[in-house]
């Protein structure tokens, strides 16, 4: 018994050494495998670019995927297989001029195309693996979101002010949509100002656009407006400091950008008829083909041509309000009497049909059957913050407003 106890420590040491020896025998191979995996560098698409010769190109006008692959000596039979493998993942017919592509060739004496990567936009990509077994996979590049703040005082127009700060023009579009019911962006004046808290999107360190605006401030003439993003009942929208919706029943204008060339008046000298005549609408000049939007939800009651009006659309919104859009070059697809339209939906395109000296849309507005100046109307608001969300909203609003107010604004 005593002999056994004396030998026990020795046995433990031997077993431990054996375990170590066994571990030493398996570890080097595993380490080598891991080391090899670590040294293989992959590119932005997850492919081992160093193992291939990569050629970059852009799709030319009227060029097809099959045409590109044929130029890389891929047999037509193989191209048919590629097209079959792509079904349900990518429509190869949607390849278009300007799309970027990358061709990966083996570094042999007779280079062969092994991978073909197509980038239809900045985010998405499609990888075609050209082997005995064709595979097609899709992916998305990683988008980074960076929270930013910006402020500006307008000198000439919103676009120029943003351009001077090297900011995305998307900010102008988004601000015009947020404040569409409060600010007439055709009548912005010098020294109007704005502040914005937003996320900007980046891919590989390069900005690709604006993601989301969390809060914004806009000073138009002597009026100041705030907008705060908040979600209630699963839907995000913008609200003012009191929790009222920024949405009104109507947009301020039927096109996003342009300029007013003639306002509502009972006494206007008509440029074609050469006489004083009432002009019961507002003219917005814009280039041919500019989309014209329905300024509110409603039903199309007329969509036709008349000698003076040209191509026009008339929409009944409810028992009180009706709007009309004149001088269109053409109607949008599906626009006809009886069709329901949504606010912001494109119903036609700017033209100069009928009595018109140039491309514009004459926007007319009826209230209780009488034509009125829409710019002077106090329009109804949409749904405010519900009672059950008000406490949460005001917490968000207080924080965001403090952030906005802290952004410095240099007055001219």
In 3-state terms, what secondary structure has residue 39?
A: helix
- Domain assignment present for residue 253? The answer is no
CA 157 – CA 163 distance, rounded (Å): 10
The domain boundary residue, chosen from 102, 118, 140:
140
- Domain assignment present for residue 12? The answer is no
Regarding whether 339 and 389 lie in a shared domain, the answer is no
More confident residue, 388 or 177: 388
Quick check: 190 pLDDT over 70? yes
In 3-state terms, what secondary structure has residue 164?
A: helix
In 3-state terms, what secondary structure has residue 145?
A: strand
To the nearest whole number, what is the mean pLDDT of the chain?
Answer: 87
Regarding whether 363 and 394 lie in a shared domain, the answer is no
Based on the structure, what is the number of domains in the chain? 3
- Domain assignment present for residue 6? The answer is no
Regarding whether 233 and 321 lie in a shared domain, the answer is no
Contacts of 183 (CB under 8 A, 6+ apart): 176, 218, 220, 225, 252
Question: Contact at 8 Å (CB) between 53 and 44?
Answer: no
Confidence of residue 277 (pLDDT cuts 50, 70, 90): low
Backbone angles phi, psi at 284, to 5 degrees: -115, 115
In 3-state terms, what secondary structure has residue 27?
A: helix
Residue pLDDT, tens place only, 191-237: 999 999 999 999 988 999 999 999 999 999 889 999 999 999 988 99
pLDDT score recorded for residue 24: 44
Residue pLDDT, tens place only, 292-332: 999 999 999 999 999 999 999 999 998 889 999 999 999 99
pLDDT score recorded for residue 221: 85
Regarding whether 158 and 96 lie in a shared domain, the answer is no
- Maximum average pLDDT range among 14-28, 74-88, 167-181: 74-88
CA 400 – CA 198 distance, rounded (Å): 11
CA distances from 160 to 55, 154, 155, 167, 338 (A): 38, 8, 8, 10, 42
List residues bridging with 238 in a β-sheet. Answer: 229
Regarding whether 240 and 389 lie in a shared domain, the answer is yes
Neighbours of 134 (CB within 10 A): 17
- The length of the chain is 412
Question: Contact at 8 Å (CB) between 361 and 328?
Answer: yes
Regarding whether 77 and 62 lie in a shared domain, the answer is yes
Nearest to 352 by CA among 284, 254, 280, 265: 284
Residue pLDDT, tens place only, 96-130: 999 999 999 999 888 999 999 999 999 999 999 99
Q: Please state the rounded mean pLDDT for residues 401-411.
A: 89
- Domain assignment present for residue 279? The answer is yes
pLDDT score recorded for residue 376: 85
Question: Contact at 8 Å (CB) between 286 and 255?
Answer: yes
The domain boundary residue, chosen from 121, 140, 159:
140
CA 269 – CA 225 distance, rounded (Å): 36
CA 69 – CA 85 distance, rounded (Å): 15
- List the CATH number of the domain containing 273: 2.70.70.10
The domain boundary residue, chosen from 140, 163, 181:
140
Regarding whether 90 and 235 lie in a shared domain, the answer is no
Question: Contact at 8 Å (CB) between 216 and 183?
Answer: no
Which structural domain, as residue segments, surrounds residue 78? 49-140
Question: Contact at 8 Å (CB) between 89 and 129?
Answer: no
- List the CATH number of the domain containing 80: 3.10.450.350
- Domain assignment present for residue 318? The answer is yes
Q: Please state the rounded mean pLDDT for residues 16-27.
A: 47
CA 217 – CA 226 distance, rounded (Å): 5
In 3-state terms, what secondary structure has residue 389?
A: helix
Assigned token pair, 42: 């992959």
Quick check: 148 pLDDT over 90? yes
Nearest to 358 by CA among 319, 334, 383, 327: 327
pLDDT score recorded for residue 242: 95
- Domain assignment present for residue 14? The answer is no
Residue pLDDT, tens place only, 380-392: 778 899 999 999 9
Confidence of residue 15 (pLDDT cuts 50, 70, 90): very low
Q: What is the DSSP string of 45-59?
A: TS--GGGEEEEEEEP
pLDDT score recorded for residue 23: 45
CA 311 – CA 173 distance, rounded (Å): 27
Regarding whether 172 and 121 lie in a shared domain, the answer is no
Q: Please state the rounded mean pLDDT for residues 345-366.
A: 94
Regarding whether 243 and 387 lie in a shared domain, the answer is yes
More confident residue, 155 or 238: 238
Q: How many CA atoms lie within 13 A of 30 on its CB side?
A: 5
Question: Contact at 8 Å (CB) between 253 and 363?
Answer: yes
CA 385 – CA 232 distance, rounded (Å): 7
Neighbours of 141 (CB within 10 A): 15
pTM recorded for the entire structure: 0.68
Quick check: 32 pLDDT over 50? no
Regarding whether 70 and 167 lie in a shared domain, the answer is no
Question: Contact at 8 Å (CB) between 348 and 340?
Answer: no
Regarding whether 242 and 219 lie in a shared domain, the answer is yes
Place of tokens 């033209």: 351
Regarding whether 125 and 148 lie in a shared domain, the answer is no
pLDDT score recorded for residue 280: 83
The share of the chain scoring above pLDDT 70, in percent, equals 87
Quick check: 338 pLDDT over 80? yes
- Domain assignment present for residue 36? The answer is no
- Domain assignment present for residue 119? The answer is yes
Question: Contact at 8 Å (CB) between 298 and 345?
Answer: no
């Amino acid at each position: 018994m005593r002999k056994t106890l004396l030998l026990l420590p020795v046995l433990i040491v031997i077993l431990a050494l054996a375990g170590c020896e066994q571990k030493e025998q398996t570890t080097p191979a595993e380490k080598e495998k891991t080391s090899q995996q670590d040294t293989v560098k992959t590119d932005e698409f997850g492919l081992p670019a160093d193992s291939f010769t990569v050629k970059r190109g852009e799709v030319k006008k009227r060029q097809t995927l099959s045409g590109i692959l044929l130029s890389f000596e891929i047999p037509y039979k193989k191209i048919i297989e590629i097209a079959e493998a792509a079904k349900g993942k990518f429509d190869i017919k949607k390849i278009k001029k300007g799309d970027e592509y990358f061709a990966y060739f083996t570094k042999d004496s007779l280079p062969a195309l092994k991978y073909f990567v197509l980038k239809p936009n900045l985010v998405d990509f499609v990888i075609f693996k050209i082997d005995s077994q064709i595979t097609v996979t899709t992916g998305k590049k990683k988008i980074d979101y960076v929270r930013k703040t910006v402020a500006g005082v307008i000198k000439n127009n919103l676009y120029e002010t943003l351009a001077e700060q090297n900011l995305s023009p998307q900010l102008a579009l988004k601000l015009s949509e947020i404040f569409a019911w409060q600010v007439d962006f055709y009548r912005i004046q010098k020294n109007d100002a704005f502040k914005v808290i937003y996320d900007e999107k980046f891919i590989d360190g390069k900005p690709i656009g604006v993601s989301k605006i969390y809060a914004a401030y806009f000073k138009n003439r002597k009026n100041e407006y705030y907008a705060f993003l908040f979600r209630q009942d699963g839907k995000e929208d913008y609200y003012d400091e009191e929790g009222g919706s920024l949405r009104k029943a109507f947009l301020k204008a039927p096109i996003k950008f342009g300029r007013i060339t003639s306002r509502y008046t009972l006494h206007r000298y008509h440029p074609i008829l050469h006489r004083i005549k009432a002009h019961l609408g507002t003219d917005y000049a814009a280039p041919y083909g500019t989309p014209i939007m329905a300024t509110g939800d409603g039903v199309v009651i007329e969509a036709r041509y008349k000698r003076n009006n040209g191509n026009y659309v008339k929409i009944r919104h409810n028992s009180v309000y009706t709007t009309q859009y004149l001088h269109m070059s053409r109607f949008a697809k599906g626009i006809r009497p009886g069709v329901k339209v949504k606010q912001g939906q494109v119903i036609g395109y700017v033209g100069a049909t009928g009595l018109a000296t140039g491309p514009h849309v004459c926007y007319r507005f009826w209230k209780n059957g009488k034509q009125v100046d829409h710019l002077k109307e106090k329009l109804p608001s949409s749904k405010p913050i519900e009672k059950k969300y008000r406490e949460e909203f005001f917490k968000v609003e207080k924080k965001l407003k403090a952030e906005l107010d802290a952004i410095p604004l240099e007055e001219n």
